[in-house]
Amino acid sequence: MTTFALVGAGPGLGLAAARRFGKAGHTVALLSRSIQNQDNLMYELAQEDIQARGFTADVLDPASLTAALHEAADTLGAVEILQFSPVPRSDFMKPVLDTTAADLDDPLAFSVKGPVTCVNAVLPGMRELGRGSLLFVNGGSAVRPKGTVAGTSIAFAAESAYAQMLHTALAPENIHAAQLIVPGAISPDSATSSPEKLAELLYGLHTDRTGFRHYAEPMPDPQDSTP
């Protein structure tokens, strides 16, 4: 049995993805800062006979991420699927003209050093398995920068570049890196971006293994406007 490791485990998309991969037969490693949050998710998943365990880690603390992912593999089984989808802090989203160099330290640590740390932690196990999936979830600013959210626009673009390089470099090893762009808000009422719809898309990225960048819904062209 292999493990689905979820970095940024929460009650919305995180729970839906954990449920989808758990129902497919994977054990689930829930990585977040909050033990209470992990306990709540484990309770929900246990109602559906999904084996899950929480591991405390902070995306801004590489040592805690590495330790948590190694512990998850040791206790639950090799990590076959890594989903990196933590929610950025609101203070990452300052307007571009209000953003200083220091303001980019945490966004870049969150969206670049965090993913690099996670991939380096799970890649040896995926190579031993001979397969794996690395799934990155980002908002629309990853591909279309917005001056009102400069920190995430810059950091998501860097994360995208890293993930796309992984897609090319790891394809010969049967390790698939893919990105899901969610242009709008994740909402239970959304026809395209509900947690359940997105979880199904993510599972499809793992199983279909085609292409790098995928969209939950089309992104409107900023050049198009109604007079």
Mean pLDDT of the chain, nearest integer: 95
- We report the CATH number of the domain holding residue 74 as 3.40.50.720
Residue 224 lies in a domain: no
Whole-number Å distance between alpha carbons of 124 and 186: 33
Whole-number Å distance between alpha carbons of 111 and 155: 6
- What domain count does the chain have? 1
Residue 103 lies in a domain: yes
Residue 89 lies in a domain: yes
Residue 98 lies in a domain: yes
Task: Give per-residue pLDDT as tens, 130-158.
Answer: 999 999 999 999 999 999 999 999 999 99
pLDDT tier at 191, thresholds 50, 70, 90 = confident
27-32/52-56 β-pairing: parallel
pLDDT tier at 104, thresholds 50, 70, 90 = very high
**3-state class (DSSP) for residue 220:** coil
Residue matched to tokens 């995928």 = 214
Contact 182, 197 (CB under 8 A): no
Of all residues in the chain, the percent with pLDDT exceeding 70 is: 96
Q: Which domain holds residue 162?
A: 3-215
Question: Does pLDDT of 68 surpass 90?
Answer: yes
Residue 223 lies in a domain: no
Residue 174 lies in a domain: yes
Whole-number Å distance between alpha carbons of 199 and 193: 9
Task: Give per-residue pLDDT as tens, 200-211.
Answer: 999 999 999 999
Residue 88 lies in a domain: yes
DSSP string across 117-130: HHHHHHHHHHHHHT
Residue 95 lies in a domain: yes
What Cα–Cα distance (Å) separates residue 59 from each residue in 7, 8, 13, 14, 70?
8, 8, 17, 15, 15
**3-state class (DSSP) for residue 62:** helix
